[in-house]
Structures are given as structure tokens and as C-alpha cells.
Structure 1
Amino acid sequence: MSWFIAALRKTFNFSGRSRRKEYWMFILFTFIISVILTILEMALGLEFNENFGILTTLFSLILLIPSLSVTVRRLHDTGKSGWWILISLIPLIGGIVILIFTLKDSEPGSNKYGPNPKKAAI
């Protein structure tokens, strides 16, 4: 949970680097909270229609900027520009490319986006 909160604290920080653990823990907790909210919506009948619920829509809107920032920092950690996030707008192919980039290990040492966050955490 501390990695999720750390990513939220850096909501408007699109510079620097985020290691894989920070990125994937953010994704994991976002998924878990979304599932819990969906179940809660179904139990309380808080759905707009069968595809959208009030709580999950609000949660998604709140996490839009933090999700973008942690993804940009993750791309920076692999040595890619944050602008690569725009490739996700291409259906299927874009998502696969972003998945591959976020699964890659950090660039060793410092890169043009800052020092390696793995070395700082050890």
C-alpha cells in the first residue's frame, strides 16, 4: 500500500523515474479498489447502467492524472520519453507496446531523467 500512496503523492510530478515495483503496485491496488467498488455498486444498486457505476467512474476520474504520471515516470526509468504514452491510443498494438515498456528493467545508473531509483532504495 505504501507504493500506491507514494505514487499518489507524486501525482503532478511527471519528471524523474519510477521503478517497476512502484508502477505495478499502483496498478495492483487500483485494480483491487476498482473490484471492491464494483461489488459495492452492484450490492447498493449505484450503477448508471450495466457498464458504468458511480463509484468506479469517480474513482477512475480521480486516478486519471496519477496513472498518467506514474506511467510517464516508469517510461523514463526505461530510458523512454514520456510521450511514448501516446502510443497507447493505438488499439491493441499500443497497449502491448506500453506493457512491454513497463515490464522492462530500469536503465542501469543515471539517465537523462535522473538517478536510478533502485540504487536510491537499497
Structure 2
Amino acid sequence: MSFGQAIRTCFSKYAEFNDRASRPEFWWWTLFVVLASMAAGIIGEAASALFSLATILPGLAVGARRLHDTNRSGWFQLLWLIPVVGWILLIVWFAQAGKEPNRFGSAG
């Protein structure tokens, strides 16, 4: 999956929490959000706030779908609320290869 495809997929599945997301889809989306957030921050506070509002739901959705690909519940994203330990655990899980087969459907 390319950078553009990942962004299109995440925006087309804006609030889709019931599927699976590949590693490239998740990491390209993350790169897009980081780069666009920096650009919006340079433009101004209002632009940054609007961008954050526009991308929070698809970000949570792609995170849940990525965890589904590793056969984990999307609710594990709540670990972001636990500083350092939760963050490290989630990053490791997001980086893991998808498990096939799993309870969240087939990959792809």
C-alpha cells in the first residue's frame, strides 16, 4: 500500500472500527498525521485544531483496525492513557505482523 492509498483508505473508512488494517496502512497514516500536524501548526493554532478534529476519529479507527490485524481488541488503545509503559506496548503491537487467521476476519 502506498502513502496516498493509505490516506484515501483511512478517510474512506472514516469511522470504520470493524475491519483490519495492514502495517503499511497504519504507519503511512501515522506519518501523514505527523507531517500534516506540523504543517498545520506552522500555519496557526486554528488550523492545527481543525486538523486534529478532522483526523482524530479516523486515527482511532485505523488504530483499532491495526490491533484487530494482530488479533487484539481495539479497546487496547486505551493504553495510550498510561504513560510510557502503555505507549511502548501499543507501538510494539502496532509493529507486529498480522495474525492469520484471526477472529476479526481475513486480511486484505
Q: CA RMSD in A?
A: 1.0
Q: Which runs of 5+ in 1 are unaligned?
A: 42-52, 118-122
Q: Which runs of 5+ in 2 are unaligned?
A: none
Give TM-score, length-normalised by structure 1. Answer: 0.81
Distance 1:60 1:86 in 2: 18
1:21 aligns with 2:24: yes
Distance 1:39 1:89 in 2: 27
Distance 2:33 2:78 in 1: 21
Distance 1:8 1:110 in 2: 26
Q: Aligned residue for 1:110?
A: 101
| Structure 1 segment 1-122 matched on structure 2, within 5 A | 1-41=4-44, 53-107=45-99, 109-117=100-108
Report the CA distance between 1:78 and its aligned residue.
Answer: 0.5
| Number of residue pairs aligned between Structure 1 and Structure 2 | 105
Distance 2:70 2:8 in 1: 22
Give TM-score, length-normalised by structure 2. Answer: 0.91
3-state SS of paired residue (1:63): helix
Find runs of 4+ consecutive structure 1 residues off by over 4 angstroms: none
